[in-house]
């Protein structure tokens, strides 16, 4: 009995100790996530990890500093659900200056318990497009637009009618707003210069989390940054339009080089890896298939110009096709390939293939120096009299030869004029030596 009582007392002490420690640490900091890029599975995992961390480490709130051109509707729906079901207040802060919460990013911002933007940022333009980056078919677009308009209105209604009306138009009419305009309409709660300014401004704000009203106490709290995992950081880094096109170009070039020079292996392996990574990035960025077809056409023209040289005409067409394909590869103003990248890759790839074309032309025009055809023009020595037939030593080999201008004396120099199977035709080499 005494032993059991002792165990109960120890258990209570442990509970009191850790329970008291937990109560003391709750609300003593704010967790911060920083994300730049499209809304992909990487973004979903990062937000989920951030919410779980904030719920378990006693954060007063979780701030998501975000700059996104948008992304998958399905993934956005999952992220919105995670934010709405969080037991810790979630703050979405569109920053830094120049950042966007475009398309699906608008939904994420409106789902937050607190929404804020930095000066010089924009939000909106949430009209749906297909997974290929194109406009949807008319009937389908109408259905999807109506559903998304209702969804975003539901998220914005708690911010007032003006905010809800604008949010609906962001889907139906692709409307966008600056930070100042969004604040005036009630779409966001604050315009803040930085995270510290945001924490000061939202201090004392009442928010409703899972139906329970809470008052935020964030002013002066330390900030704990929650980083992405190394793998997710890498995957997010390659979902950049410029990097996606670079990977695509390197991938195709590597495979072409491997096919042209079988056995090298390394170019083929690197090319295959780059190509697969580019497919991931292009899929995450909703690449336009038309742009991909133009890029594929460019490489086809490059290859044909090597096989059937046209003095660079097809290569010039390939460069133009590559540039146009890169321009239309992405359909939103927030996901574009920089001009410097487009032109640089096009010229570098064109130069590579022009070099290959020049090498092919030189090889085609060059007289063979090996095999039977390589004997034509070589000087040999008659090992016996040719009248008109006999044996000739050419390039260290004995050949049965027929003289075109017999007789040819033994030891006289001759020049090979033709190879006929295992026989050669020769003529006298006036004054020439072997």
Q: Is residue 355 part of a domain?
A: yes
Confidence class for position 362, pLDDT limits 50, 70, 90: low
Contact predicate 149/305, CB 8 Å: no
| Domain identity same for 402 and 278 | no
Q: What is the largest CA-CA distance in the chain?
A: 130
User: Model confidence over 123-163: pLDDT tens digits?
Assistant: 998 777 654 444 555 566 677 788 899 999 999 999 999 99
What pLDDT sits at residue 13?
A: 47
Task: Give the CA distances from residue 249 to residues 185, 293, 296, 311, 342, in Å, rounded to whole numbers and listed in that order.
Answer: 45, 13, 10, 23, 11
Q: Quick one: CA dihedral 96, 74, 188, 92, positive or negative? A: negative
Measure the CA dihedral 138/143/144/149, to 10°. Answer: 120
Q: Is residue 399 part of a domain?
A: yes
What pLDDT sits at residue 46?
A: 97
Residue 434 has pLDDT above 60, yes or no: no
Q: Which domain, by its residues, includes 347?
A: 240-365
| Domain identity same for 30 and 150 | yes
What pLDDT sits at residue 221?
A: 96
Which are the contacts of 95, defined by CB distance < 8 A and separation ≥ 6? Answer: 65, 66, 67, 117, 118, 121, 192, 194, 195
Q: How far apart (Å, rounded) are the C-alpha atoms in residues 371 and 416? A: 14
| Domain identity same for 203 and 246 | no
| Domain identity same for 210 and 322 | no
What pLDDT sits at residue 92?
A: 98
Q: Is residue 414 part of a domain?
A: yes
| Domain identity same for 413 and 343 | no
User: Per the structure block, which two tokens stand in for 420?
Assistant: 């006929």
What pLDDT sits at residue 164?
A: 95
| Domain identity same for 265 and 147 | no
Residue 8 has pLDDT above 60, yes or no: no
| Domain identity same for 262 and 216 | no
User: Model confidence over 44-68: pLDDT tens digits?
Assistant: 999 999 999 999 999 999 999 999 9
Task: Calculate the CA 272 to chain-centre distance.
Answer: 14
Q: How many CB atoms lie within 10 A of CB 400?
A: 13
Q: Which of 365, 387, 409 is the last residue of a domain?
A: 365
| Domain identity same for 91 and 215 | yes
User: Model confidence over 264-299: pLDDT tens digits?
Assistant: 778 889 989 999 999 988 888 878 888 889 988 888
Q: Is residue 433 part of a domain?
A: no
The CATH number covering residue 391 comes to 2.40.50.140
DSSP code, position 29: -
Confidence class for position 334, pLDDT limits 50, 70, 90: low
Q: Which of 197, 227, 257 is the last residue of a domain?
A: 227
| Domain identity same for 302 and 386 | no
The CATH number covering residue 103 comes to 3.90.226.10
Q: Is residue 233 part of a domain?
A: no
Q: Is residue 409 part of a domain?
A: yes
Residue 263 has pLDDT above 80, yes or no: no
What pLDDT sits at residue 260?
A: 67
Q: Which of 177, 206, 227 is the last residue of a domain?
A: 227
- Greatest mean pLDDT range, 11-15, 111-115, 336-340, 403-407: 111-115
| Domain identity same for 377 and 361 | no
Residue ranges in 30-137 assigned as alpha helix (H): 41-56, 73-84, 104-111
Report the catalytic residues. Answer: 103, 143
Provide the domain count of the chain. 3
| Domain identity same for 49 and 198 | yes
């Amino acid at each position: 009995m005494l032993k059991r009582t002792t165990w109960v007392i120890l258990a209570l002490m442990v509970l009191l100790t850790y329970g008291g420690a937990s109560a003391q640490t709750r609300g003593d900091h704010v967790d911060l996530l920083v994300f730049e890029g499209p809304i992909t599975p990487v973004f979903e995992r990062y937000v989920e990890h951030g919410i779980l961390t904030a719920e378990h480490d006693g954060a007063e709130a979780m701030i998501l500093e975000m700059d996104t051109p948008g992304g998958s509707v399905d993934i956005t729906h999952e992220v919105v659900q995670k934010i709405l079901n969080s037991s810790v207040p979630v703050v979405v802060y569109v920053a830094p200056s120049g950042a966007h919460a475009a398309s699906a990013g608008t939904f994420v911002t409106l789902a937050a318990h607190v929404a804020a933007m930095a000066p010089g940022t924009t939000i909106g333009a949430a009209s749906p497009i297909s997974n290929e980056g194109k406009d949807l078919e008319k009937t389908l677009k109408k259905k999807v637009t109506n559903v998304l308009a209702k969804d975003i209105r539901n998220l914005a209604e708690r911010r007032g009618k003006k905010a809800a009306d604008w949010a609906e138009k962001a889907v139906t009419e692709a409307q966008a707003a600056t930070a100042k305009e969004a604040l005036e309409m009630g779409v966001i709660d604050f315009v803040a210069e930085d995270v510290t300014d945001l924490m000061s401004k939202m201090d004392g704000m009442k928010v409703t989390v899972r139906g329970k009203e809470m008052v935020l106490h964030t002013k002066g709290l330390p900030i704990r940054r929650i980083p992405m995992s190394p793998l997710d950081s890498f995957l997010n880094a390659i979902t950049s339009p410029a990097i996606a096109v670079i990977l695509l170009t390197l991938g195709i070039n590597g495979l072409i080089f491997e096919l042209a020079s079988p056995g090298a292996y390394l170019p083929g392996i690197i090319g295959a890896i780059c190509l697969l990574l580019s497919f991931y990035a292009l899929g995450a960025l909703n690449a336009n298939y038309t742009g991909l077809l133009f890029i594929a056409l460019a490489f086809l023209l490059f290859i044909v110009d090597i096989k059937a040289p046209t003095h660079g005409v097809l290569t010039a067409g390939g460069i133009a096709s590559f540039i146009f394909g890169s321009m239309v590869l992405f359909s939103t103003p927030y996901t574009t390939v920089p001009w410097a990248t487009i032109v640089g890759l096009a010229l570098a790839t064109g130069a590579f293939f022009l070099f290959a074309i020049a090498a092919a032309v030189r090889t085609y025009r060059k007289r063979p120096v090996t095999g039977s055809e390589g004997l034509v023009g070589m000087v040999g020595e008659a090992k016996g009299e040719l009248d008109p037939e006999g044996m000739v030593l050419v390039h260290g080999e004995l050949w049965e030869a027929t003289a075109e201008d017999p007789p040819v004396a033994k030891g006289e120099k001759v020049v090979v004029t033709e190879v006929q199977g295992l026989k050669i035709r020769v003529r006298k080499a006036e004054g020439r030596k072997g």
